[in-house]
Each structure stands twice: as C-alpha cells, then as structure tokens.
Amino acid sequence: MDGEAAGQSVPDYLKSRGIVPFLKVDQGLEEEANGVQLMKPMTNLISLLEKGAAKGVYGTKMRSVIHLANREGIAAIVKQQFEMADQIAAHGLMPIIEPEVNIKSAKRSQADAILHGQLLKALDAMPVDRQVILKLSIPSECNLYADLIQHPRVLRVVALSGGFTTDEACSELAKNSAMIASFSRALLESLQHSQSEAEFSAALDGAIQQIYEASKT
C-alpha cells in the first residue's frame, strides 16, 4: 500500500488498470476453541484504516476459520467479523467478511447451515445504509446462500477455493447461481517458479479463464 508503481501509489495504479484495491487488516488467527479460530486482536486497525482510506483503498479483507458445527463458536466468529466490519465501514471502506468453513470438516454441511443462519441474523441487524461483501466457502448444499446474495445489506457474495483444486473449485462454484469466485489457492495452483515468462502467463491466463467461466455460470 505504501509502495509506488509507474509513478503512482499502488492503489491508484491498480485502479488505473481496472483492479479494485483491497487491504488485508487481520493479524492472523487465534488457536482453535469451540471448533473455530477467531481473529487475533487487531492492535493497529484504526491507523491502518485511516491510512488505507487516505490512499484510496476501496475495502478490506479479514479471515476466520470454522472447523466444527459448534453454534457458540460460529456465533462468536460472526459477531467478531461484524463488529470489525462496523469500524471499517465507519472509515468509508467496504468490509469483506470471511468466515471460512473448513471443507475437510466432517460436519461441513451442518457448519454451513449454522453459519447461514448467523449471517442472516447479523445482516438483518445492520444499519440500512451499509453493505458488506461476504467471502464464503462454497457450500455443500447448492445455492444455500441464495437469500444472502439477494439481501439488501450485501453488495456481493464471493467464493473462496478453500483447498479445492482449481477443477474442483470451479465445478463446485458453477453449481451456485450468482456466487462468483474470489480464489487465491486455486488460482495459483498451476504456477511454478521454474516456468518461463510465457509458460507462467499461459498458465495464469488459463486459470483465470476457467475461473471466470465458472463464475459466469
């Protein structure tokens, strides 16, 4: 965020290329408790938000992880995420709320369902003039989050790849209408340090096209 590219600040350069700049604000995860990992205390959040807003950043990203279908733990994750989102929105930035459900959890479908209910409750309680972006694991039940996508407090619902391969993530995403990709792990899967520039570009282009098609579906 503090750097420069082509004589512009990095956020301004990204915007000039049609890329919306987001800022990661969390400081990592706590140890697992009640089947979840909350975010560690954000000791520099306010100064980071002020700097991000001044530099033209559009929004923020912060991640928690859900391992088990523990209602108390999932409620705590949603509460923490929305409390942080309120501070972020107060600084004029768009919060991405990311409570990732571990796709390898034996209770994945139950965790999805509990999370859905907690998110809906939190969204209904938001001020009418605010919105958030939800970044969620692809649900085990197709279109589970359809009502969240249509919720007036939600700007967009995007999907994280969460450990799926690119093929798996795209296949699962395509089953969920209007949920679009925000993949990192699946995007980078075919990229290797040993590739030539042409090979690297071709691999990246192929992954982007595949992910785009899954989002479009």
> Over the range 142-168, which residues count as b (16 or more CB within 10 Å of their CB) and which as e?
eebbeebbebebbbbbbbbbbebebee
Of 72, 135, 168, 199, which one is the catalytic site residue? Answer: 135
Helix (H) or strand (E) holding 24: strand 22-24
Inter-CA distances, 112 with 84, 146, 153, 158, 187, Å: 22, 13, 20, 15, 23
* φ and ψ of 182, to 5 deg: -135, 65
Dihedral, CA of residue 126, residue 24, residue 159 and residue 69, to nearest 10: -70
Does the annotation count 135 as an active-site position?
yes
Given the residues 4, 50, 98, 141, the one annotated as active site: 98
98 catalytically annotated:
yes
- Catalytic amino acids? 98, 135
